[in-house]
Structure 1
């Protein structure tokens, strides 16, 4: 306890240790952590913290993306033609509060997620499974307390029973998502969260939980508990009441260090064990092969990253004059498909691959990892072509873009070298086409940019997507559907794409799904709703005294950069 107290004092005060102690893991990232409430977390920075404090009913086994294993459940059965799932729950599991987990807590967890569900939380897909709609009760009057209550219940044997309105082959995989982690009903009610009753549920419908009391005072069943936090640091301690094997790593410190140079220096000194890098080109030059560094390469990449071009920009501070007069842009600037095509031809994809991925990357034809069902390598792609970019700039807005020019402001995630590099490439190439074109780029904190992009306030924003569950629908629907999760970032709508996505979601025929996804990809190429950022070959690096990281343990469904949970790590 004395060592933990000392670490808390030193690190939360910003002092550096000579070296990370053997029982302590120090992580440094460029971003902050938007929330610690699993009911609303929908980003990887939050996800890593939640995955190690909380637990789900099931999880992925080893490095598999398909095989699930019990976590807080011990077994389950499907019945009623695949519309009923019954789970036996693990006994003698304790929350960090000291309370023993019961079926009531599990039932409350899913009811809370259904009640507070919003388009910007990670609960829309579980709501779709259990209620037949992605919406909450405010947006869909067919969502009632009776339906929520019936969808998940505890039976007389203390088993958790889910009742689905229709078969969902991805349902079990959805339960492995960190946002479905089990929380304690009594504890939540005691700190002012929803009490789980029909009497109060209406006042919690769609409520934003980002800064909730549970986010401030987390309480999971996981191997680590939060003991202290400030604006830049989170300190976790191994939970002595954990039901599983006691972690070897007793303390985990997560620090926000925005600039990459201090992160690199701390890592090479041994003050930090794991850091957010700067992309392959930077990391191979500055980190790989240095004393004390372990490097694992050729890992699977199951993320997809794009630069959104927002067709309805709701933040006036990015628009300058708000007119197409050379001093600004109108809010619907990117509504013109010719303009979007011009920007797509202005991005130098091969330069990004060389500068960020050191040649280990390739252009994708769709916003879908090429290892997933439905990826069509034959869909056309944009190439950097100044002549074609010029052609489409001259056609955009009836020639007024070329004639008048424009000035716009674009934000990128502070501390992210790949994002900064991408925006610098785009800025340089666009401005070189016409001296009347001006793009101002500036860094922005991740939580602020995430919040603004949810509201449609960013003009252009580079964001990736890591799958919630291993199915192509999680990408296709997210990126392409006009009511998909990322729709507010682009405000793009195409009737044909919406029709094909809907048809693909209604069939389990893999050949038909692939055909429909190919149509989506081809149409998206024509309409250019965003710039597809090349996909790299994944790698990770860490201090070489850490044990437990390898290609055989790395699971891309895990939010952390190491692809494993903290409890599975140790130090030599």
Structure 2
């Protein structure tokens, strides 16, 4: 502890530079704060990088694979029984929490029941509830949820065996349980910190409750390789947990620092005062960091984010509609409900130019809103290309010729500070306005928090949004984007009965080939109906100090919350 305290003091003093960070210490610098250390409410990567190292799930992704798992608190990866509706998990013995409490099945049972009780749209527990209770809602929003249902869905059959009971088969369930938000918490410790006591008598008091700032956020206790030492607004300190059941990590101390200024992070990185930093866009990294002494650049890593232009078919904000008519001064609320409008816009975006100029040639056009490394992705579906002739033809067909005849004024927003989104909007604006002088697109910067709220309420006309996976399964993307019951539906208001049917079938189809066929049908239908314009996917990279070992293309897993390294910190070491 004395050594850790000395290191911390030296690193946190402004202007003090170490010749090199000690071999047993990892220093991470990022720009934003860490919202929570409670896995029950973790639904962001900043928090997730801590919860996945302080806590542990039943199993995790094996190496860089998105489809293979290795056990953590389970002794093996289980197989389903009862037609895919029962999952029996044998739990590891002789495991301690950082509080000193022994890990038992009661902790696992409590953890999952707690997630079902407190489930809200702001946490990742909606997809656990969907699997175990048949609904994404909590008991406040869905009165069919009872304590009896929650208790029956996950329970211990003996002190070392946990049983999940699903109402119907869910081929994505194993992947869902690898999400860091489904980590196992210390029941006795949680109750001591003022958290839910796990009983039927009090469960209703905790339904949908926001756990941010709660007892486990302030004082976490997990079974992971690292435990919390201290935390304030600008730094978090972890040390290796001496009672960890697994192999002793080479890195004994984790020092995380909030450094908002990119230039300051770059300076510390180049000097060796930081091992890993939030580096920013490829263009900046290429210009200022790649090739510099002491740094290791790892390129061509998988990108598991899907991004698109949303074209809302039921725009709910009159302020964005102008005149509200097709008279050249505005648009009607249902402007994007005409497939000819959507296709015309899709042919107006310069995909190749975006890849060249914004992504420096490191980009790929996907056929669907699913990462091309995921199961279920198909390359056989066509993609749109920039084609002003085709765009003109579809604009002339839209609204029985009135779009071409009268023109329109479209008001769009992008996230303030998002250079890539702004550039994409500017490309689209330039190309559309060049087709017809009566076409006008106004683009405006908007604060992210307000943009999220307004888009959730269906107010935005056209915006760019992405989706990063909660679990490595195509359902997490395709249902999210394309289903009328999906998370993004209020932002697009696009509905197709066939797509809804195929996606619902895929959710309960265990046979991989049959499931992939359904997803291919969704992709083809989406190409034909064009509910979104797909933004090309960039190629990921990592850059770290070259004495840091354990970060490579073979170890990097894009499902890790720590996108800087793509690994659990316990696997890292230094020369």
Bucket of the pairwise TM-score, normalised by the shorter protein: 0.7 to 0.9
Does the 8 Å contact 1:92/1:243 carry over to 2?
yes
What residue is the counterpart of 2:520 in the other structure?
518
Q: Distance in 2 between matches of 1:396 and 1:413?
A: 31
Residue aligning to 2:69:
68
1:328-378 Cα offsets, whole Å, 9 max, x none, are 777666445444434433332112211333223221110122344433323
Indicate the residue corresponding to 1:548 in structure 2.
Answer: 550
The 5 A counterparts of 1:329-478 are 334-389=336-391, 399=402, 403=406, 405-406=408-409, 408-412=411-415, 414=417, 418-430=420-432, 434=437, 437-442=440-445, 444=447, 454=456, 456=458, 460-478=462-480
Q: Which region of structure 1 is more displaced relative to structure 2, 54-63 or 393-402? A: 393-402
TM-superposed deviation, 1:516:
2.3
Q: Which moved more, 1:394-403 or 1:302-311?
A: 394-403
Q: Secondary structure at the match of 1:69?
A: strand
Measure the CA separation in 2 of the matches of 1:30 and 1:322: 42
* Matched ranges for 1:122-161 at <5 A: 122-161=124-163
**Pick aligned residue for 1:185 from 175, 184, 187:** 187
Secondary structure of the corresponding residue to residue 533 of structure 2: strand
1:567 Cα deviation (Å)? 1.4
The equivalent residue for 2:505 is 503
Q: Provide closer, same or farther for how the CA distance between residues 41 and 547 of structure 1 changes in structure 2, counting only shifts above 3 A.
A: same
Higher alpha-carbon deviation: 86-95 or 385-394 = 385-394
Distance 2:492 2:527 in 1: 15
Structure 1 residue aligned with 2:37: 36
Task: Find the counterpart in structure 2 of residue 48 from structure 1.
Answer: 49
Report if the CA contact (8 A) 1:322-1:328 is conserved: yes
Q: What are the Cα deviations for residues 476-534 of structure 1, in whole angstroms up to 9, with x where unaligned?
A: 21221111233344333222211221122232344433332222112222332222121
Alpha-carbon displacement from aligned partner over 1:408-457 (angstroms, at most 9, x marks no partner): 3523274x554454344445545656587343343746x77666655556
The answer to which of 379-388 and 329-338 deviates more is 329-338
Secondary structure of the residue aligned to 2:181 is helix
Query: What value does the CA root-mean-square deviation take over the aligned residues?
Result: 3.5
Distance 1:390 1:238, change over 3 A: farther
Structure 1 unaligned regions, length at least 5: none
Task: Give me the whole-angstrom Cα distance separating, in 2, the residues matched to 1:494 and 1:328.
Answer: 27
2:572 corresponding residue in structure 1: 569
Q: Which moved more, 1:150-159 or 1:213-222?
A: 213-222
> Alpha-carbon deviation of 1:265?
3.6
C-alpha distance in 2 between matches for 1:109 and 1:567: 23
Does the CA contact (< 8 Å) of 1:39 and 1:180 recur in 2? yes
SS of the residue corresponding to residue 353 of structure 1 reads: helix
Instruction: Indicate if the aligned counterparts of 1:114 and 1:148 stay in contact, CA closer than 8 A.
Output: yes
Match of 1:207 among 196, 206, 209: 209
Give the C-alpha shift of residue 182 in structure 1: 0.7
TM-score, reference length from structure 1: 0.86
Whether 1:198 aligns to 2:185 is no
Q: Aligned partners of 2:454, 2:257: CA distance in 1, in Å?
A: 23
Q: How far did residue 180 of structure 1 move?
A: 0.7
Aligned to 1:249: 251
- Segment of structure 1 superposing worse, 40-49 or 175-184: 40-49
1:311–1:490: 8 Å Cα contact kept in structure 2? yes
Q: 1:106 to 1:118 in 2, by over 3 A?
A: same
CA contact (8 A) 1:280 1:356 kept: no
Residue 268 in structure 1 maps to residue 273 in structure 2 = no
Q: How much does 1:94 deviate?
A: 3.0
Give 1:557 shift. Answer: 2.2
- 2:36 & 2:452 partners in 1: Cα distance? 11
For 1:346, what is the secondary structure of its paired residue? coil
Instruction: Decide whether the 8 Å contact of 1:279 with 1:417 is kept in 2.
Output: no
User: Which residue among 95, 104, 107 is the counterpart of 1:105?
Assistant: 107
Task: Select between 96-105 and 431-440 the one with higher mean Cα deviation.
Answer: 431-440
Which segment is superposed worse, 125-134 or 209-218?
A: 209-218
SS at match of 1:563: coil
Structure 2 Cα separation of the partners of residues 10 and 456 of structure 1: 50
Partner residue in 2 for 1:162 = 164
C-alpha contact 1:119 1:485 (8 A) present in aligned 2? no
1:529 corresponding residue in structure 2: 531
Please identify, of 283-292 and 234-243, the stretch whose mean Cα deviation from structure 2 is larger. Answer: 234-243
Q: CA–CA distance in 1 between the matches of 2:331 and 2:96?
A: 55
**CA distance change for structure 1 residues 443 and 52 in 2, over 3 Å: closer, same or farther?**
farther
Deviation of 1:404 (Å): 6.6
State the distance in 2 between where 1:122 and 1:493 align: 24
Offset at 1:91?
3.0
CA offset at residue 175 of structure 1?
A: 1.5
For residues 312 and 210 of structure 1, what CA distance do their matches in structure 2 show?
34
Further displaced range: 522-531 or 143-152: 522-531
In 2, the alpha carbon distance for the partners of 1:515 and 1:504 equals: 9
Q: How many residues align?
A: 569
Indicate how the Cα distance of structure 1 residues 320 and 359 shifts in structure 2: closer, same or farther if over 3 A, else same.
Answer: same
Name whichever of 62-71 and 358-367 sits farther off: 62-71
Query: Which residue of structure 2 aligns with residue 21 of structure 1?
Result: 21
Q: 2: distance between equivalents of 1:450 and 1:565?
A: 30
